[in-house]
Amino acid sequence: MAVYYKNMSQLIGDVLSQRNYAEPPEVQQIKAFVLAEIGITPRITITNDAYLIRLNSAAAAGALRGKIFQLQKQLGGTRRIVIRIS
């Protein structure tokens, strides 16, 4: 069955209405871990081979570096964890 659209905005609206905007469980897990350990909510980006954790404070990044192996073990060790100060 073919679906015909009158204009591009109908097509885009149809595609976007079916998209799931929920965070992946890994992102929720990382945010909860960082919030519990250092009290800051980070910004998380997932790439093909890494979790990128961005923090505003160098002190917070340093505190998290000491707990990176614990976080890696909790996540299952599938990707690298990179901490950046932004």
At 59, the amino acid letter reads: A
What are 16-27's pLDDT values in tens digits? 777 777 889 999
Structure tokens at 3: 């679906």
Cβ neighbours of residue 54 under 8 Å, at least 6 residues apart? 42, 43, 44, 45, 84, 85, 86
Place of tokens 């015909």: 4
Give rounded-to-5 percent helix, strand, coil for the chain: 45, 20, 35
pTM: 0.76
CB atoms near residue 75 (< 10 Å): 16
Question: pLDDT tens for residues 61-74?
Answer: 999 999 999 999 99
> Tokens at residue 68, please?
């990176």
User: Does residue 30 register a pLDDT over 90?
Assistant: yes
Give the chain's domains with CATH numbers. 22-85 (3.30.300)
